[in-house]
Amino acid sequence: MSNQDWPLYPPAFLGILGGGQLGRYFVQAAQDLGYQVCVLDPDPNSPAGQIAQEHLLAQYDDEDALRHMAQLCSAISTEFENVPASTIDFLIQQGVFVAPKSFAVSIAQNRIKEKAFLQSCEALMGIGPVQYACIENKEDIDSVADTLFPGILKTAQLGYDGKGQQTVHYVEELQKAWEVLGKVPCVLEKKLDLAFELSALIARGYDDEVHILPIAQNIHKQGILHLSMVPAPDLNAQLQQHIQVAAQTIIRQLEYVGVLCIEFFVLQDGRLVVNEIAPRPHNSGHHSLDSCLTSQFEQQVRTLAKLPLGNSRLLTPVVMLNILGDIWIDEASSVITPPGWEKILTMPSAKLHLYGKSEPKKGRKMGHINFLAASVDEALEDANKAMVTLGIKPSGK
Ligand code: ADP
Ligand code: MG
């Protein structure tokens, strides 16, 4: 849709590529502001497709579907990291405003490009990516530096929630792991001694206005986000300053409009490094649905409509606990039973979110609970009680 007047006012149609839970919250945030939403996702039961005004059941490279989407929508964003760059470019050619653009998305969806990009920002922001080597052929394996062991071999593309990753300790193991991963392009990262993990969600408007959401401290279990704590208990003023500079540098260097997530590692020796970026809202920002004046999803809507950004100040300490499909499934019998939500719903601090997915699977994100309390410690206590109630194995902090 060309010749559009900006900012875009409701009830205009906004489009979203991808229909997962991130898309579902985008739809809700857009509808809260009076917009209509069109979702493109091939899954007929997709969480976002279920609630959007229009659900286009098509593949991401279906030109007829994309043409229709571009006709209907005044602006389109993405919730799905692996949307082909050509899809975004095709929509732009149709005259529709798409944010973020394929330049940024294609960097974020390929670890080799992503690492090179982060290295190129290092001089500007004073911190860089994890030490790494590209592994694309046998010669790369043979010439790998010993200092990268023990390391984590990660596929350059299509990895998420720790999938497509193998820990390796020496060259022969690296060779085997690369074969197991299908000899696709990979990066080998040094396995670092992490003290803790942080993430920043940053929104940038078309006019270069930026806003950073409160930084989250994250705990992962088996490569999957387990819980996020805000305010981040181990964050100090100096780390906060470094993260703010890094986040602004990265989003501007990417010429990015929309909401971007940047994951950081803090090492045992106190050093800060950038882990990875995601070109969309992020699981570690789900707390903002209940804890911030403006959620990450509302920021995404505002950037897309070319409206001013909101203020995402924290209204209350919060702990977000992820709910995976594992707790539906009885280990011994494989029988599926829904968890007893009553015990969670009666907790005074708990706000339950479920994504409308009908098929629980191990490791599949089914929902999350935000615990809102007077302090992160109190919220954490309640999260621990809920874990016992639901049979979620507690971890670390
Ligand atoms: P994904 O794309 O699946 O989120 P990540 O690269 O973020 O992949 O890895 C998932 C988690 O695995 C991280 O949040 C961290 O806990 C752990 N991890 C990843 N890379 C390293 C590393 N180089 N050293 C130590 N831990 C790591
Ligand atoms: Mg990650």
Q: Which DSSP symbol is given to 182?
A: T
pLDDT band at 161 (very low <50, low <70, confident <90, very high): confident
- Which amino acid, one-letter code, is at 22? L
Expressed in angstroms and rounded, the spacing between residue 11 Cα and the centre of ligand 2 is: 35
Cα 52 to Cα 75: distance, rounded to the nearest angstrom: 15
Give residue-wise pLDDT tens across range 121-149. Answer: 999 999 999 999 999 999 999 999 999 99
Q: Which fold has domain 3-98?
A: Rossmann fold (3.40.50)
- Assign a CATH topology to domain 131-190: Dna Ligase; domain 1 (3.30.1490)
CATH code at 194-390: 3.30.470.20
Q: Could you tell me the distance, in angstroms and rounded to a whole number, from the CA of residue 67 to the centre of ligand 1?
A: 37
* Nearest one of 278, 275, 281, 284 to 118, comparing CA atoms: 275
Alpha carbon dihedral 55, 60, 65, 67, in 10-degree steps, equals: 120
> What φ, ψ does residue 200 adopt, rounded to 5°?
-120, 135
Residue 214 gets which letter from DSSP? P
Q: Hey, whose CA ends up nearest to atom 21 of ligand 1? A: 191
SS3 13: strand
All CATH 3.30.1490.20 domain ranges in the chain, comma separated: 131-190
pTM score: 0.96
pLDDT band at residue 397 under the 50/70/90 scheme: very low
- Kindly report, residue by residue over 337-393, the tens digit of the pLDDT: 999 999 999 999 999 999 999 999 999 999 999 999 999 999 999 999 999 999 998
45: nearest Cα among 24, 27, 76: 24
Q: Is 156 in the pocket of ligand 1 (CB under 6 A)?
A: no
Domain ranges in the chain with CATH number 3.40.50.20: 3-98
- Nearest CA owner, ligand 1 atom 8: 162
Mean pLDDT (the chain) is 96
Asked if 383 contacts 321 with a C-beta cutoff of 8 angstroms, the reply is yes
Residue pair 125/243 in contact by the 8 Å Cβ criterion: no
Q: pLDDT per residue over 82-98, tens digit each?
A: 899 999 999 999 999 99
- Which of 225, 265, 395 has the most ligand 1 atoms within 8 A of CB, as the residue to mutate? 265
The CA distance from 266 to 89, in Å, is 36
Q: Using CA atoms, how far apart are residues 24 and 73, in angstroms rounded to an integer?
A: 17
Residues of the chain with CATH 3.30.470.20: 194-390
Residue 394 confidence class, pLDDT cut points 50, 70, 90: confident
CA of 104 to the centre of ligand 2 (A): 17
